[in-house]
Amino acid sequence: MGQFLHEFFSPLDFIRSTPQVWDGFKLNIQLMLVAEALVLVLALLLAIVRGLPGRAALPLRAAAIVYTDFFRGTPLILVLLIVQGFAQLNYVGLSSQTLFRTGLIALTLVYTAYVTEVYRAGIESVHPSQRMAARSLGLSYMQAMRYVVLPQAIRRVIPPLLNDFIGLQKDTALVTIIGLTEAVAQAGFYSSNYLNDTAYMVAAIFFIFLTIPLARFTDHIIRERESRERAQAV
């Protein structure tokens, strides 16, 4: 027991490794913020494309379906390696900036596929009569989408969307395999230097502290909606 505590919860190693792991964790935070911003926008565009009506939009719809099928079905770790392979093929070098971009692209590709489906579920949950009412007032398809369908759809999918973002935050750790020295990599360095695994616990704590606010925020939104709907039912 003492050995276990020393291996994972040594106070000295905790204090000594924290700055180093934090240094790596800043990279996770950057990746997460930029990837989430990109995913929010790209997934929305893709969801709209998937819902376009008419025969003319068929190739676009098909392309969107192929995209989501591919990137939702491929493990992130493989996507990371594939994107890295592309980067190396083009001799763009292995600067830390290139690595960051590689990780960012892979995360964005995969999570865009997930979030597209979340948005799409939201769009389909808005009753067709809403779109019909908007169109009957003379609004174009895109205007009806923008002012009537999307505001209602997005409000409904915020909880599942935040849930996917929690997943994304944790998955920023996977970029370590392409050689980015983020929190997990730094913890690994520390662990092999000092032969002690406490640094991994430090990294775990960082990740947990990052997701807890998002998880509580999600709960809050769900609770607020439930109380509003109850108020309506009365």
Give the footprint of other proteins on this chain (CB under 8 A).
Answer: 129-130, 132-140, 143, 147-148, 151-152, 155, 232
Asked if residue 210 lies in contact with residue 125, where contact means CB atoms within 8 angstroms, the answer is no
Q: Min. distance of Cβ 131 from other proteins in angstroms?
A: 10
Cβ-based neighbours of 123, under 8 Å, separated by 6 or more: 47, 48, 51, 149, 150, 153
Indicate the residue among 82 and 139 with the shorter CB distance to other proteins: 139
The residue among 101 and 131 lying less far from other proteins, judged by its C-beta, is: 131
* Distance separating alpha carbons of residues 88 and 194, to the nearest angstrom: 33
Which of residues 34 and 139 has its CB atom nearest to other proteins in the complex? 139
Smallest distance from other proteins to CB 151, Å: 5
- For other proteins, give the closer residue by CB, 195 or 234: 234
- Output the smallest distance, CB 144 to other proteins, in A: 9
DSSP designation for 90: T
Question: CA 233 to CA 213: how far, in whole Å?
Answer: 30
Residue 196 three-state SS: coil
What is the smallest separation between the CB atom of 150 and other proteins, expressed in angstroms?
Answer: 10
